[in-house]
């Protein structure tokens, strides 16, 4: 269950917090801001700091706490791991800045204490390399062995570049036939934008087989694991459930997870982008297919896939 920021705030701020969250257009942003703000307010409450009395130095200390090296129990440790990844720290600071900017806009406070707080440097490289062709085939084969549902989920990410959030939001009725044959899937992307994604023949077969003619409800549903009476209702897949499915399929496929590093859904999206570039798609076509808002994002994937093979050091190879 998501943290509730109101629980950690003075009662007089409850309405303002609700208004701040309601002002976010994207449901995904609202959800992230809700969690991030709750963590910040809980941190303040533990130190008996009121949100309206916060100073710049307090937010600097909060940033340092987010980035602090800790052990497995969350206790400070000189040789531990950061409490949160740099990208997560940056996002949580963005939430704090947005919250105080909203308080200024609503004339609750005169100035924001967060306006000049520096965040960590975040890598601009994509999150993990894509799988190679053999690894992708093995993962799809493992998914197909589970059935059309698992195969459809994997193919939608690895062969059509869908984000995990786009998969969990998709409806059965979003699968639409094309006039000349085949199907496209209407998806809801970042910012609530709707896109029409053409499905290749293999993905189409898996999705159609999974639906079996069903036209109602979420595209992907699973039995509620909390019920053990044999009559568990079907609930939509969560993002966490898809993460678990990918991990299980990687094990079934015999993929060396330690060598690969974390195999998460976004790596399958990276696999899609790099694979179509390898097969000759232009950068513009790859950007359109992956729905990147900036061509710079697509170029980063292009650089990553060719960085080793095209590095100038290979020019110095001994004859």
Q: Residue-wise pLDDT tens for the chain (319 aa)?
A: 568 999 999 999 999 999 999 998 878 788 889 999 999 999 999 999 999 999 999 999 999 999 999 888 888 888 888 898 888 999 999 999 999 999 999 999 999 999 989 988 865 555 556 788 899 999 999 999 999 999 999 999 999 999 999 999 999 999 999 998 999 999 988 878 899 999 999 999 999 999 999 999 999 998 776 656 666 678 999 988 998 999 899 999 998 766 666 677 888 988 898 888 888 888 898 888 888 888 887 887 777 766 666 777 777 776 6
CA atoms of 24 and 150, how far apart (whole Å) = 33
Ramachandran quadrant class, 188 (left: phi over 0; alpha: psi -120 to 50; beta: rest): beta
**247 closest CA partner among 171, 160, 147, 139:** 139
CA atoms of 13 and 108, how far apart (whole Å) = 10
Burial class of residue 74, CB neighbours in 10 A (0-12, 13-18, 19+): exposed
Whether residues 147 and 94 share a domain: the answer is no
Q: Are 273 and 161 in contact (CB under 8 A)?
A: yes
Is 19 part of a structural domain of the chain?
Answer: yes
Whether residues 155 and 301 share a domain: the answer is yes
The answer, as to whether pTM is greater than 0.75, is no
Is 289 part of a structural domain of the chain?
Answer: yes
Torsion of CA 289, 211, 216, 139, to 10 degrees: -50
Q: Return the pLDDT at 259.
A: 60
Whether residues 16 and 100 share a domain: the answer is yes
Is 314 part of a structural domain of the chain?
Answer: no
Residue 150 domain boundaries: 133-306
Is 123 part of a structural domain of the chain?
Answer: no
Whether residues 80 and 179 share a domain: the answer is no
What CATH number corresponds to the domain at position 156?
Answer: 1.10.443.10
Is 275 part of a structural domain of the chain?
Answer: yes
Is 95 part of a structural domain of the chain?
Answer: yes
Q: Return the pLDDT at 143.
A: 95
- The count of structural domains within the chain is 2
CA atoms of 285 and 275, how far apart (whole Å) = 13
Q: Return the pLDDT at 316.
A: 77
Whether residues 291 and 227 share a domain: the answer is yes
């Amino acid at each position: 269950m998501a943290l509730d920021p109101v629980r950690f705030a003075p009662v007089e701020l409850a309405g303002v917090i609700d208004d701040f969250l309601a002002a976010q257009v994207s449901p995904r942003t609202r959800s992230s801001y809700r969690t991030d703000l709750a963590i910040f307010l809980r941190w303040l409450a533990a130190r008996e700091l009121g949100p309206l009395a916060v100073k710049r130095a307090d937010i600097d200390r909060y940033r340092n706490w987010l980035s602090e090296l800790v052990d497995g129990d969350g206790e400070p440790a000189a040789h531990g791991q950061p409490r949160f990844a740099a990208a997560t720290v940056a996002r949580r600071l963005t939430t704090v800045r947005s919250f105080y900017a909203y308080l200024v806009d609503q004339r609750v406070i005169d100035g924001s204490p967060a306006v000049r707080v520096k965040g960590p440097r975040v890598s601009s490289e994509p999150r993990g390399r894509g799988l190679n062709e053999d690894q992708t085939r093995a993962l799809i084969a493992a998914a197909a062995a589970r059935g059309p549902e698992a195969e459809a989920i994997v193919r939608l990410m690895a062969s059509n570049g869908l984000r995990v959030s786009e998969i969990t939001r998709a409806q059965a009725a979003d699968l639409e036939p094309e006039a000349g044959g085949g199907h496209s899937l209407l998806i809801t992307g970042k910012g609530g934008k709707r896109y029409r994604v053409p499905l290749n023949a293999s993905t189409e077969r898996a999705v159609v087989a999974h639906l079996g003619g069903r036209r109602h409800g979420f595209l992907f549903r699973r039995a509620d694991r909390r019920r053990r009476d044999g009559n568990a209702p079907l609930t939509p897949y969560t993002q966490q459930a898809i993460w678990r499915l990918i991990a299980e399929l990687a094990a079934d496929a015999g993929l060396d997870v330690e060598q690969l590093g974390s195999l998460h859904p976004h790596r399958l999206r990276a696999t899609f982008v790099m694979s179509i570039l390898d097969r000759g798609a232009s950068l513009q076509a790859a950007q359109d297919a992956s729905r990147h808002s900036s061509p710079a994002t697509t170029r980063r994937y292009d650089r990553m896939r060719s960085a080793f093979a095209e590095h100038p050091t290979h020019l110095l190879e001994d004859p």
